[in-house]
Amino acid sequence: MLFVHGPLGLRMVSPFEQSWQLLKMAMVDGSLDMHSTWQDDEGFDNVRYTAEFQNPETGKIHPMVADINHAQTSNRMPYPAMNVKILPPNYDVNSVPIDSATEVGELDGYEHSIAEADFEPSRSDDNHFNRNLVGKPRVKGAGPIQRLQGFGDWKRDNPQHSDISLADYLLMLANYKHQGHGTAMYNMAADILDRETRNSHVIVRDDTQSDHAERMWAKHEGKESWPSERFR
């Protein structure tokens, strides 16, 4: 039995809610690959990775792009700055400019991305050596799960969930409108950090989480950091 923190305190996560979370682990297994490297104007190395995101609602494959730079510093301590993007289906990743990473607080980001996430050091007092990073995901063009489908139609189209209750169906519509984009971006970022830093840098929960972030992290309840592929 799984519980998560909500605005009214602890609440139980239903079996359907847990199974839907598993469906939302939508970065395609084995798709992560190093794409290219380059030096920026200051001579620091940058690395670009690519992967694939499969939308669990539509089944369509979207390219993912992540750029990581190890030269950033905070309080004189280096850390890997990373930007992750999910792009429209069939988008040419070679056309994504190397300077398209979003400045912190700049919500628009790359004009063609559907979703983006920036990862930067946690501001907690105990974040020694900038080991702990927090994500700032945003979904721009994902849209809600198809709400025009009726309850019965949706069950017929998704026979693996034919026993879903109306309450769980409505909860799904309210809570899972972003179709796993955030989970996929966190998975990609965690896997890259594992490759680039051998887990000397990890992704942790932000001190202030939205309800959506709490639900996204629920699958890793009890873990101190978002696990890379080796530990998922």
Burial per residue of 1-38, b for 16 or more beta-carbon CB atoms within 10 angstroms, e otherwise: eeebeeeeeeeebbebbeebbebbbbbeeeebeeeeee
- 94-111: pLDDT as tens digits: 999 887 554 443 445 688
Please give the residue that has the higher pLDDT: either 225 or 178: 225
pLDDT, tens only, 55-100? 887 788 999 999 999 877 766 678 888 999 999 999 999 999 887 5
Is the pLDDT higher at 9 or at 131? Answer: 131
Confidence of residue 229 (pLDDT cuts 50, 70, 90): very high
Q: Is the pLDDT of residue 20 over 70?
A: no
Q: For 146-163, what is the mean pLDDT?
A: 68
| N-terminal to C-terminal alpha carbon distance within the chain | 19
Mean pLDDT for 136-147 is 60
Output the pLDDT for position 101.
53
- pLDDT band of residue 185 (cuts 50, 70, 90) is very high
Q: What is the largest CA-CA distance in the chain?
A: 59
Phi, psi of 43 (to 5 degrees): 85, 10
- The angle that helices 166-175 and 15-23 make with each other, rounded to 10 degrees, is 40
pLDDT of 31 above 90: yes
Would you state the structure tokens that stand for residue 68, as one six-digit string? 């990581």
Which pLDDT does position 107 carry in this prediction?
42
Indicate yes or no: pTM above 0.85.
Answer: no
pLDDT, position 148:
43
How far is residue 91's CA from residue 215's CA, in Å, rounded to a whole number? 30
- At 104 the pLDDT is 40
SS3 161: helix
